[in-house]
Amino acid sequence: MIKRKTRYNKDLELKRKPEKAVLGLLLSRGAFHMAITEANIMGIPILNSAVMAASTLTNMAKRSRYFIVNPGHIDRPDRTGGQSEISFRYFEGAASGTIMIGEHPKSEEFRELFNWPEAVIHLPFGSDKIKTIINELDRQPDRQEKIRRNNMVQSLLRHDWVYRWEIILETAGLKPMPELLERKKRLRDLSNMIEKRAVSLGN
């Protein structure tokens, strides 16, 4: 029991280092920060459902400049057995068009799913260097715009559920229904709209 407690204390300290760095940066700028966890979302009565919690996260993420991401249960090796899991946060952050900062899952699947430039700005778990990263990004608005645009476009073209369903149909030897093709066209139109807007703004 003593050994297990010591390990968790070390994991907790790893979590607190970047949190302290973020809070210090925000206090100096008067900016807003919220750590979104299952506990603090589901603990609010009106959000006490998976649908409402997901909606809240989505609306906050798309209005955020930066979005901290890490592999699922990275601070609980007793649950993961050391396996680096791709959490939903990567998909949610990319689709919202925010800039994701955090550790990359150490898996081939992640490299295949998020293989566009700067999908995630790498920050090792437990690092307190987030101030340096944010200050650097803040000095490069064109780079910020490109990262946000790439995240949204790639999500529209690769990570909608329609693409997963299409693979299932192909595997089963079934043809897609017209509605599936219509949704794919709608997603392409949205991605083209984002790209055209960037061109019109000179980005």
Give residue 19's pLDDT band: very low, low, confident or very high (50, 70, 90). Answer: low
Query: 174 vs 129, which has greater pLDDT?
Result: 174
Q: Are residues 121 and 197 in the same domain?
A: no
Q: Are residues 137 and 113 in the same domain?
A: yes
**pLDDT higher than 80, residue 25:** no
- Sort residue 30 into left (φ over 0), alpha (ψ -120 to 50) or beta: left
**pLDDT higher than 80, residue 15:** no
Is residue 14 one of the residues assigned to a domain? yes
Torsion angle of alpha carbons 84, 88, 90, 96, nearest 10°? 180
Please report how many Cα atoms fall inside a 13 Å half-sphere around the Cα of residue 140, on the Cβ side: 12
Mean pLDDT of the chain: 81
Burial of 88 (0-12, 13-18, 19+ CB in 10 A): exposed
The single-letter DSSP state of residue 105 is: P
Q: Are residues 198 and 133 in the same domain?
A: no
Cα 16 from chain centroid? 20
**Nearest one of 194, 120, 188 to 157, comparing CA atoms:** 188
Give residue 20's pLDDT band: very low, low, confident or very high (50, 70, 90). Answer: low
User: Each residue of 92-114: pLDDT tens digit?
Assistant: 999 999 999 999 999 999 999 99
The backbone torsions φ and ψ at residue 107, rounded to the nearest 5 degrees and listed phi first, read -150, 155
Which domain, by its residues, includes 195?
160-203
**pLDDT higher than 90, residue 23:** no
Q: What is the CA radius of gyration of the chain?
A: 19
Contact 114, 120 (CB under 8 A): yes
Is residue 12 one of the residues assigned to a domain? yes
The pLDDT value recorded for residue 144 is 95
**pLDDT higher than 70, residue 26:** no
**pLDDT higher than 90, residue 57:** no
Is residue 90 one of the residues assigned to a domain? yes
Give the chain's domain count: 2
Query: 11 vs 198, which has greater pLDDT?
Result: 198
Is residue 165 one of the residues assigned to a domain? yes
Contact 86, 113 (CB under 8 A): yes
